[in-house]
Each structure stands twice: as structure tokens, then as C-alpha cells.
Chains A and B, each alone.
Chain A
Amino acid sequence: MLDLPLLSLVIWIPILGGVAVLAVGKYSDDDNVTRWLSLAVSVLAFLVSIPLFAAFDTTTANMQFVEQTPWIPFLNIYYYLGVDGISMPLILLTTFFTVIVVIAGWEVIKEKVAQYMACFLIMEGLMVGVFSALDGALFYVFWECMLIPMFLIIGIWGGPRRVYATLKFFLYTFFGSVLLLIALIYLYIQAGSFSILDFHALPLDMTTQVFIFLAFFTGFAVKVPMWPVHTWLPDAHVEAPTGGSVILAAMMLKMGAYGFIRFMLPITPDASAELDWLILGMSVFAIVYIALVAMVQDDMKKLIAYSSIAHMGFVTMGFFLVFSILRNTESIQGAAIGVEGALVQMISHGLISGALFLCVGVMYDRLHSRSISAYGGVANKMPVFAGLMVLFAMANTGLPGTSGFVGEFFVILAAFKSNFWLATLTATTLIMGAAYTLWMVKRVLFGEVTNEGVAGLEDLNKRETWMLGTLAVLVIALGCYPAPLVDVFHATVDNLLIHVTTSKL
């Protein structure tokens, strides 16, 4: 079992499966065939990814499930894959959410079904590639290719302003990617290989580190997204079809954060220590500023999109607390709480925001409006749905017992070690997050039935119940017992913290 190239399988099963779906869609008029085939492929990929978790060795920080073969030998570029405690859970999240997205699009997508499903399957493989690539060039290829299916998903199955949204999305992220490429090429010239692990060990002087840091920072901050390069996200979410929003929120945003912890921190530790105020400041600014903006949105998808930006602020903050904790308490004790909190937040935010976008999708499929004011009193007609949406909303406000609490709690604990006022500002999310989320819940779900559209709503069907129910179980399970997930991080994070607090100069 362990001799199988698991990572390659998880990458190539969905990609080849996606091509197969395209081919079948071309010769078959029955959309159900392509739907079932897509479901089979995504479930297979998910099942193949489970051993990554089951057979994962939590005691070592080394890369596991490593595969390395020469790809472009004369440039010293390898097809080099492997995972550690940081990337492995993200791969599982990707394969899991692809199944959910295939189910979410089942009856909803009626046109170009095969192409729609194929886009998601191919994107799944590429995203897994991003999380498992250990060669910079390979990483970059996956990173860029991934944009294409997303571009198509928004551009073809999107809403009325989809062209503006796709262009904005593409140009924004492409702008970041170019700087990323320059940084990677510079590092390649210095290190003589594209291996990310070689990059980690590469000694660099301060000026170089700062430049590399800023290049990476721009590239990844766009993807997270951090304030002020966040304005593509609300537009992309609003125009994307439900499945696109789910993948965007659950997976794509995590790529930026993943870049922070895979590239920036270990490659440029001294610049990170020097410039951590920049990241902390922007993170806390996002948490406060974006929460205020989220408060006044009428479009539910925009509201959740802004909420995502605020929640991703916890991730970027958690990663970069180590330096100020070291300065403030003269020990890195507690820094791991921040980093692991941020990592939990990545997974948890994926589940919760994905679920919330699915909830909006469920309503949109029925009434074709995302506007809060078009709803009111939905709970009267859709009690089961209302129960689940309240649960996800509560998770979004960080209620203990849901996964949303774990990450925020850990990051606030660590932030307190760094600075009292930083923690105070960060903790305002308790109030603001609850305010914008529950205010939306109040206006959408509660009250008397406000219009005929709502009066004609039907509660969840079986497919939707299973889809949201599964997510609900995961959100609660992770909230009540995060230990199995957190244990996966320990070795990698401890190793990382020692690495980043050791100067490269």
C-alpha cells in the first residue's frame, strides 16, 4: 500500500478523470452519466487521499510520501513531491471539498455539465499539486495552471458581471505571480536547484532577504487575500457559481497562506523577523476594517467573502506572532499555539465558509437572489436548512464546540503573549463577527415570511441535507476534539519555529 505513489495518484486521478469526463460528455447526451462519473472520480481521489492521513507519521518533521524523478534534467528541475504536517491536511480538505462541490452542482448545473465537472476535477489535481510540490518550478506550474479552470468556472458559469470579475481575479493574482516567479528564479540561481528544501537551507544576506520577502509577500498576500489587495475576492465570489465560491473560499485562499509558511518564513527568516510588524499590522487591520465593511453588505456572498478576509487575518497573524513573542517574553514558548491555531483556522475556515457559501447557494437555487433584503422568515418554510445555517453562522462567530473557535482561540492566546493591545484588537472579532453574521441570520432566516418567493420555498432535499449535514458533523467534531488534527502539526511546526528563529545571516 505504502509503495504506491500516493501523491501522484491524488494529483493525476482527478486530472485524467476530468479529461475522461470531458470525453464522455462529448459522446454522451445523458448528463447523468457524466455526473456519476465525476462523482466516482472525486470519491476515488478522496479515498486514495485517506491513507495520507492514516499512515502519516506525526513524530517527524521530515517530508513524507516523497516522490522524486528528474523532469527537466538540464535545468535541474525535478518532479518532486512530498507532504509534511502543514500540507497533508490541506490535501485532504481539497479532495473532500471536490466531492462536496460535485454534489452541490448535481441538479443545479444544467448546461455544459461535463465541462463544469471536468474543470473542478482538473483543478482538484492541480491544487493537490500545489500543496505537495517540493520543487519550485513544479510548484509554479501547478500554481499558475490552477488559475485556468477557476477562470473558466467564473467566466462561463458565473453571474452577469462575470467578465469584469474574471479579469480582475486573473490580473490581480497574475500580478502577484510574476513577482513570485522572479523570486523563485533568483533563488534557483543562488541555490543551483529548484528544491524548496534547498531554498530553506540557503543562506542569504539581509538585503536579498528583504527583496525576496517582499516579492513573495506580494504574490501570496493577493491570494490570501490581505488588505488592501483584497478587492478581487468579493467580486469573484459574487459572480462565481456556488461550486466556484466554495472552492475559492475553502481552498484557493489557503494557497496564499500556505505560501507564507512554506516559502516566506523558512526562506527569509531574518527579513520576516524584521518586517513582522507589516504582516501583523495588516492582519489586525483586516480583522477590524473588514469586519466593519462586512457589516453593511446586502449581498450575502459579499458578506461571507468579507468575513473570509477577516478570518484569514487570523491565519496570517498566527504565522507571524513568533518573532514578537520572542521579543516580548524572550522565549518562543507559546508561538506554536499561534502557528497551529492559524493552521487549524485554515482548515476550519474552509469548512465553515464553504458551508456558508453552500447555504447561500441553496437559497439562490430557489429564489435566484443573493440579496439579504430579498429574504426574511426563511426559517418558517425551511426549518432544517435554518437549523444548519444557524449552526454554520455560529461556527463563523467562533462559538466554542465548533471548529471556528479553535483557531481564533489559539491565535488570540498567542497574540496576548505578543502584545496586549494586539490581542485586544484581535479579540474584537468576537463582537464584530457575531454582529455581522447574526444580523444577516436575523434578517434572512427569522421574522415573518416577507414575500411570496419565500412563502414558496421548499426545505432541503436529500442531496442538500447530506451535503450540509456532513459539513455540520465535521465542524462540530473538530470543535469538540481538535487533538487528532493538531497532533499532525506538532513536529513540523516545532521544527519550523526552530528554523525561523535561527538567523541565516
Chain B
Amino acid sequence: MKLVYLSTVLFPLFGSILAGLFGHKLGRIRTHQATIVGVAVAFIMSLVAFYHIVINGAPAFNETIYAWAVIDGITFEIGFLIDKLTVLMMLVVTFVSLMVHIYTIGYMRDDPGYQRFFCYIALFTFSMLMLVMSNNFLQLFFGWEAVGLVSYLLIGFWFKKESAIYANLKAFLVNRIGDFGFLLGIAAVLMYFNSLNYTDVFNAAPAMTNLTMDAALNENWNVITVICILLFIGAMGKSAQVPLHVWLPDSMEGPTPISALIHAATMVTAGIYMVARMSPLYELSEVALSFILIIGSITALFMGFLGIVQNDIKRVIAYSTLSQLGYMTVALGASAYAAGIFHLMTHAFFKALLFLAAGSVIIAMHHQQDIRKMGGLKKYMPITYWCMLIGSLALIGFPGLSGFFSKDAIIEAVKASELSGAGFAYIAVLLGVFITALYSFRMFFLVFHGKERMDDHTREHLQESPSVVTMPLILLAIPSVAIGILTIGPLLFGDFFGSAIQVLPEHDVLAKVGEHYTGVWGFILHGVFSVPFLLAAAGVATAWFLYMKRPDLPGVIKERFKGIYNTLDRAYGFDDFNSTFFAGGVRRIGRFIWQYSDVKVIDGVIVNGTAKTVGLISGVVRHVQTGYLYHYAFAMIIGLLLLLSFFLPW
């Protein structure tokens, strides 16, 4: 099986190297063939792994590939841990990636950087697989930073666009703030566990529950809590949780396929995956869990609000992604890791679908992304329309579709949770359902229904996208509908994850929810009469009323509540604060210490000052050396006389 896992990661890497180094020699067609074959092989190998581990029930694979370095008895290594959690992630990553690869053929058809794009997305697939398949913290960090690198390269793919290169620098730096915490977390793990291997760490963790470290001023911190929170700061960067969420909306400057792949389906969920993978650690710290719960619920609710005021089709979906990532985080905080991963999976399908459908709209609109200039697209693009509808319904949790199951499970789990912060989280996720429905269908109605607001030129050229674009949409629509029905039983209430996810009995909210679980149909039936569904329906109705029935109303509301609107429009002012306080502040301090400390004090006073002093003194002293013999002779006689007068006994 080692060969299977190795080829899963190596084929996309080879594809990427081929596309990157020889793309121009190979030409466009052979480049995309090479990378698509690479990712297709990875997908097939993931299916083999799924068959082997899940269907055949083989034990988890945990092996070292090579020792990266060995120092002081500590082995830093590259290795794979393939259990059911990993297999699930591998399937999601490779499937969405394959769809995006195919879609890219159509979307990037006329782009001069075609080969470069395929090189990057194949490299991304490799990095993401390295991240999820790792069996140790070193490789996790390697994959973690590598996906960040590819994200940087892809957001700035159109590097002539000032907004794109601003966004990619911002994304990288904000992620680095997260990684700063993450790296310290890893250092803490090494210090207290003397190993970076998951198995070693998880086995040793229960014995260290009460271990404390002396921080400063006799302040003692629980070691496990410190580790968990530091690692979670990394997840906050990667999975865009408040206040490190600011990079994700801007990342929409990248081409749409990568918004689907990286900034919706896979990379941004790396943080969720990481926390679920570390469940044996997080279970030991209720403080960390509460922290996660609160951060997640703030993100889920407040980022949803922002989706309502966006006019760029991709930014609406981006804020929706932020909000949904908040839901996943809430699930983790409530110890319902399986529900978090379940939502991660369903979200990967329907959000990739939504983004790719939005991309299809963008192609038809000649790269116009403002939804105020769309409308009535239904009759021009039927396939895109139906796919977008399925995606939106799945997102708002329409009973029976995939998002319904995962979202309901999270809401029920939070309701059952007894951790501090759970009450707030419950209100946030409940209210979030209404908001989600509102912004999703606002966008949906504005794009596909109502008046055609585009200019005549655009309208004349409106047409459905080619089949390389619509086929991935249809292929993603299938799991968006069905994956929930098919997998909720085993994933949430069965023992699918086994020992990959560990939950302490007192935290096990999913078991509590599962007591009422009688099967898929019962769950749907229960859902239809529950509060979340009513809230979702109300959201859709509100959207319909405001944007279809009375399109004059939103303007009135905007005027009436100007203060609130402005706050939302400026995204609560995070960006303004960051750019003045952090970016501006650092530059000001930098300039200050450079000009004063380096240039004026060290160079001006000490270095050049010393030189000047020497010069000054020698300037005075050199007058003694006149070069006249009689001056010297005179000085000698005077000296001699002085000496004589000193030594002679008078």
C-alpha cells in the first residue's frame, strides 16, 4: 500500500514539475493532459485507499517514508498516517481538484499563463495531500506552509493587477501570523513530548493534563491548553477565523477555479482538519474548546452579515465561506469533530459548485462580477442555473440536500453541548441560518431572475458555458445533493472514524444527538418541522420579497440604517485598523529606528564621531610637528632642563 500512497502524492507533483519546467515546450494541451492525468491518478489511488481502509477495514497505515533529520535522538521525518479521516480528506481533495482541473481548461482558455496555472494547481494538490496524509507535525507544517505558498502564487496569478498583488501579500502575511502561533505550538509539543510524531504525542497526552508551565510573574499556564491554543491560532489563519479572516475576501482577486479549490473547498478547511486530527489533545483542554467555540460562532454569525451587503458575486460566496468555516469551527469547539468534518465534506462539494457556477456566470458576463449588473440569466444559462440552485439550496440547508444534514447536526450538537460559550454559539448558529438563506438567495435572485440589467453588448453574447465548464458543475451537483443522505449514518452516528477522532464521554454531544437518530428519513422529517428550517425558509422569503417583489425596499433600508450599512460595508473596519495600525505602524517604527538609532546614533555619533574626534585631536597635535629643526632642538633642550631639574637633588 505504501506505493499507492506514494503515487497519490507524487503524481500531482510530477504533473506540476512537468507543467512548470517544460510547459512551454509541451504546449497547452499536453500540459493540461499531464497535470490532469497526475491528479486523476491521485484520485484513483485515493479510491483504492478508501476501498482498502474503509471497505476492507484494514488497520490504519502509519509509516515513515524517510528521515528528514535526526538530532539529539529526535527524529524529524516525512511519513504517512492513513486512517479513515485521512481517506475521507484525500477523496474530497482529489475529487474537487480533478473537477477544478477540468473546469480550468474552459475557464483559462485564453489566458497566456495557462501552463503556469496548471503547474500551480497541481502543486497545490500535492501540498494539500502532504498536509492531510502526514503522520507528524513537521510534515503538517510543511504542507501547511506549502499550500499557503501556492495560495500566494495563485491569488497573485494575474500579477499585473495591483489589487491582486496587494491581496496575495496580505493573504501570505495574515497566514504567517497564524503560522507564528502554529510554529510555537509545534515547539511546545517538541519540548513537552520530545517527539513530533502524532502517535507518540497522543499516547503521552492524557498523562500530561495537569502539567503547567511557568509563563512569567508566577503565572502558571496549563501546557495542553497553551499547545492547543497556539495550534489553533494557526488554524485561525488558515481557516480564516476572526480576526485573521481579513485575507479571504481579498483572495477573490485570484482566478475563480482557485477560489473554488483553495479558498472554499480544501485549503481553508486545513485548520478544521488539523483540529479534528488533534482531537486527542483538544479533548484535554476545555478552555481551548471554549475559545474555539466562541471564535467560531463570532465568525459564523458576523461574517454572514457581511454577505448581505456585497455586490461582487464572488465576494458574496467568499463571506458565505467564512461563515460556513465558522460553523465547522463551532462544531470542533463543541467536541463534535465528526460533524465538523462532515460539514467540511458537504461544504467542499456545494461551495466548489457555487464558485464554479459563479465562474460560469462570470465567463458569460465577460468578467463582469457585479450582481447589480446581472439579472434574468436563467433563460440564457439553464445548466448553470440549475446547478447554482442546487448549490444554494444545499448551502441553506434544504431538507434532504447535503448541507441540511451537516448543518443540522452542528446546530443540534451545539445545543447539546455544556461547555461555556455553548449558549452564545447556539444563538449564533441559529441566527446564521436565516442570514445564510438571505444572502444566498439575494444573490441568486439578482443574478438569475428579475430584470436584465446588463448592457446590450453583453446581452447579445450571453450563452451557456462550454461542456468542460458545465460537466464539472453537474459532477459536483450530484454529491451536493446525495452525499448527506448516503453518509450521515456512518459518519456521525456510526463508528466511521474509529480511533482517528477521540472524544471524551463527557464531551460526546454527537452521542446525545444520536440517541434520537432513527435513520435518514426520520432525520429529514424532524428537520422539516424544526426551527432551523423555518428560519431558512424565512430567509429565502425575505430575499424574494426584498429583491423580487419590492426591489425598491433595499435602497430605503440602506438609507434608513446608514450607520449599520456603513459598518457592514467597511467589514467592521478590520482592514482600516490593520493598515493604519499594523502596516503603517511597523513602517513608522522601522523608519524611526533606522533614521535615529542606526543613522544618527550608531553611525553619526559613535562610528563617525570617533573618526571625527580622532581627526580633531590629531588636527591639534599635528601643530607640534612643524618640521623645523630649531623647534625640535628647542623642545629637546627644554625637556632636558625639566628632567634635570626634576632628578637633580637640589
- A residues with CB within 8 A of B: 168, 171-172, 228, 231-232, 289, 292-297, 329, 333-337, 340, 377, 379-380, 390, 394, 397, 399-401, 405-406, 409-410, 412-413, 415-417, 420-421, 423-424, 427-428, 430-432, 434-435, 438-439, 442, 445-448, 480-483, 486-487, 490
Contacts and interface: CB of A to CB of B under 8 A. Distances in A.
Given A400-B145, A430-B180, A295 B587 contact: yes
B67 A483 contact: yes
B500 interface: no
A481 B67 CA distance: 8
Contacts of B635: none
21 contacts: A172-B607, A228-B602, A232-B607, A296-B587, A296-B590, A335-B72, A336-B71, A336-B72, A337-B74, A401-B146, A412-B183, A413-B191, A416-B190, A421-B216, A431-B180, A435-B173, A435-B586, A446-B156, A446-B165, A448-B160, A482-B68
B68 A430 contact: no
Contacts of B200: none
Chain A at the B interface: mostly helix, strand, loop or mixed?
A: helix
Given A231-B602, A416-B190, A427 B184 contact: yes
Given A294-B590, A333-B72, 6 more contacts: A293-B594, A297-B594, A379-B159, A409-B183, A416-B187, A447-B165
Contact of B173 (A399, A406, A434): A434
A379 B153 CA distance: 13
B593 interface: yes
A416 B68 contact: no
A447 B160 contact: yes
A431 B215 contact: no
A335 B177 CA distance: 27
Nearest to A433: B176
B590 A293 contact: yes
Contacts of B597: 289
Contacts, number: 139
B126 to A, nearest CB: 11
A413 B182 CA distance: 12
Contacts of B156: 446
B172 A434 contact: yes
B194 interface: yes
Given A231-B607, A293-B594, A412-B183, A333 B194 contact: yes
B586 A430 contact: no
Given A292-B593, A421-B216, A446-B159, A337 B71 contact: yes
B279 to A, nearest CB: 24
A417 B191 contact: yes
A172 B607 CA distance: 9
A482 B216 contact: no
Contact of A293 (B162, B166, B215, B598): B598
B68 A334 contact: no
Contact of B68 (A335, A421, A434, A483): A483
Interface in B620-642: none
A295 B145 CA distance: 22
B607 to A, nearest CB: 6
A434 B179 CA distance: 12
Contacts of A420: 213, 215-216
A438 B173 contact: yes
B165 A410 contact: no
Contacts of A171: 611
A480 B166 CA distance: 30
Contacts of A448: 160, 162
Interface centre among B74, B173, B191, B215 (most CB of A within 10 A): B191
B603 interface: yes
B599 to A, nearest CB: 8
B3 interface: no
B173 A486 contact: no
B190 A427 contact: no
Chain B at the A interface: mostly helix, strand, loop or mixed?
A: helix
A292 B589 contact: yes
Contacts of B152: 438
Interface of B: 66-74, 141-142, 145-146, 149, 152-153, 156, 159-160, 162, 165-166, 169, 172-173, 176-177, 179-180, 183-184, 186-188, 190-191, 194, 213, 215-216, 586-587, 589-591, 593-594, 597-598, 602-603, 606-607, 611
B72 A337 contact: yes
A434 B176 contact: yes
A399 B590 contact: no
Contact of A380 (B70, B160, B179, B191): B160
A410 B177 CA distance: 19
Contacts of A487: 70
A500 to B, nearest CB: 15
A187 B194 CA distance: 40
Contacts of A397: 176
Contacts of A329: 191
B587 A400 contact: no
B225 to A, nearest CB: 13
Nearest to A333: B72
Contacts of B153: 390
B72 A416 contact: no
A439 B169 contact: yes
B184 A423 contact: yes
Nearest to A329: B191
A292 B587 CA distance: 7
A295 B590 contact: yes
A486 B606 CA distance: 40
A14 B213 CA distance: 55
A409 B145 CA distance: 13
A134 to B, nearest CB: 26
B68 A296 contact: no
Contacts of B611: 171
Contacts of A334: 72, 74, 190-191
Contacts of A439: 169
Given A292-B590, A483-B68, A445 B180 contact: no
Nearest to A390: B153
Contacts of B187: 412-413, 415-416, 423, 427
B552 to A, nearest CB: 41
B132 to A, nearest CB: 16
Contacts of A490: 71
A172 B73 CA distance: 42
A169 to B, nearest CB: 11
B586 to A, nearest CB: 6
Contacts of A409: 183
Contact of B603 (A231, A417, A442): A231
Nearest to B599: A231
Q: In the A-B complex, list the 4 residue pairs whose CB atoms are closest, starting with the nearest.
A: A416-B187, A292-B590, A295-B590, A296-B590
Contacts of A232: 607
B119 to A, nearest CB: 10
A248 to B, nearest CB: 18
Contact of B183 (A337, A427, A483): A427
A392 B607 CA distance: 33
B71 A340 contact: yes
Nearest to B595: A296
A228 B601 CA distance: 10
B597 to A, nearest CB: 8
Contacts of A405: 145
Contacts of A295: 586-587, 590
A303 to B, nearest CB: 11
Contacts of B180: 427-428, 430-431
A399 B159 contact: no
B187 to A, nearest CB: 4
A430 B183 contact: yes
A224 to B, nearest CB: 15
Contacts of A335: 72
B176 A431 contact: yes
Given A296-B594, A400-B141, A482 B69 contact: yes
B191 A296 contact: no
Contact of B593 (A289, A390, A447): A289
B191 A416 contact: yes
A431 B70 contact: no
